[in-house]
Amino acid sequence: MATDHELIVQTAHDYFAGWYDGDASLMDRVLHPDLVKRSPGEYDGATLTKKDMLEATAEGEGTREAADRRLKVEVCDICGDIASAVVWSAPYREYLHLIKTGDGWQILNALYLPQ
């Protein structure tokens, strides 16, 4: 059986795979219903919900960024049913807060910057 650490890393990889592949079903599985994803105002000032992310994924917005799919995922901390992780990808740096649910680890909050 996979450890929480391994499952959190897999959740981050699935999140980016869903984005790059335009796979809204995969994205739906890894995002918590109450997701809030933000970027500071000096960049694009975005505040996104799960609904926003699913729509953008289904429209293929992330497929334009799929050329360089390298990811580095660092799980910073796990405490019971909550965790934090940092993801370095070619287009973004993301800080993720995750929560363990009946459906597995899901991303509850994300803070990101374009690289």
Q: How far apart are CA 99 and CA 97, in angstroms?
A: 7
CATH number of the domain within which 30 lies: 3.10.450.50
41's tokens: 């105002």
In order of 59, 80, 110, the CA distances from 12 in angstroms are: 20, 18, 11
| Count of structural domains, the chain | 1
Q: What is the pTM of this model?
A: 0.94
- Does the pLDDT at position 31 exceed 80? yes
Q: Are 23 and 15 in contact (CB under 8 A)?
A: no
61's tokens: 């917005």
17's tokens: 């795979």
pLDDT tens digits for range 50-99: 999 999 999 999 998 878 899 999 999 999 999 999 999 998 999 999 99
Mean pLDDT of the chain: 94
pLDDT tens digits for range 95-104: 999 999 999 9
Q: What is the per-residue pLDDT for 45?
A: 74
Of the pLDDT bands very low, low, confident and very high (cuts 50, 70, 90), residue 40 is confident
In order of 15, 74, 82, the CA distances from 94 in angstroms are: 11, 11, 17
Q: Which structural domain, as residue segments, surrounds residue 98?
A: 4-114
